[in-house]
Amino acid sequence: MGSIKEIFLAIIVLLCISGIATAGFYAIDTTTPSIVPESKSDEATGYDDESFEANKLGQWQIALEKAELAIMVDEMFGTAWNNKGVALHGLGRFEEAITAYNQAIKVTPWYVLPYANKGLSLYELGRYDEAVLAFEDAISIWPERCTYYKYMGDSYYANGDNQAAISAYTHALQITPGCEGVQEALDYVLNQ
């Protein structure tokens, strides 16, 4: 198994490859320490690694099954709960994904990805106010991630709050001037 940073990078790649997130959303800020939950069980870690690989390939059902095996071995394994959520999201089972992300948050409240992923699932369900709150939680953990503000802005816009969307997009650009998709989103809202 790789280092924590390698695992974190792999999770980000998974989310980008799977279409759950864009590359800009999960781009690594190398100045920010990345902390990924680990299991004390090699068996749970093995299942979780298999879940991750299956998610990366879009093999959602296999990923779900492997994540569930990891959780059966170590129910406090936040990464496995998050990977279960990713698989459920990929299967279009957004409510169940949210439940998995909530469990990941419960066992590892300092782990940022379940908050952001929960926001994506809430957005897919049209629950934009709740998505905003999930992105705010992600921002409270990793405030220098411009793309969390971008997705929060998208949620505000989808909910009809153009001013809040403009504010979120503007803040994202202040953090990272070239933040992927933000200038286009801001220009679109400003031209409404």
Q: How many domains, in total, are found in the chain?
A: 1
Q: Is residue 155 within 8 Å of 164, Cβ to Cβ?
A: no
Instruction: Say what the pLDDT of residue 36 is.
Output: 64
Instruction: Say what the pLDDT of residue 126 is.
Output: 97
Residue 19: left if φ>0, alpha if ψ -120 to 50, beta else—which one? left
Instruction: Say what the pLDDT of residue 40 is.
Output: 78
Extract the residue ranges of the chain whose pLDDT is less than 70: 1-36
CA distance 17 to 160: 30
Domain of 90: which CATH number? 1.25.40.10
In a domain, 164, yes or no: no
pTM: 0.79
| Residue 135: domain span | 4-142
In a domain, 24, yes or no: yes
Query: How would DSSP label each residue in 140-164?
Result: HH-TT-HHHHHHHHHHHHHTT-HHH
Place of tokens 């998505």: 131
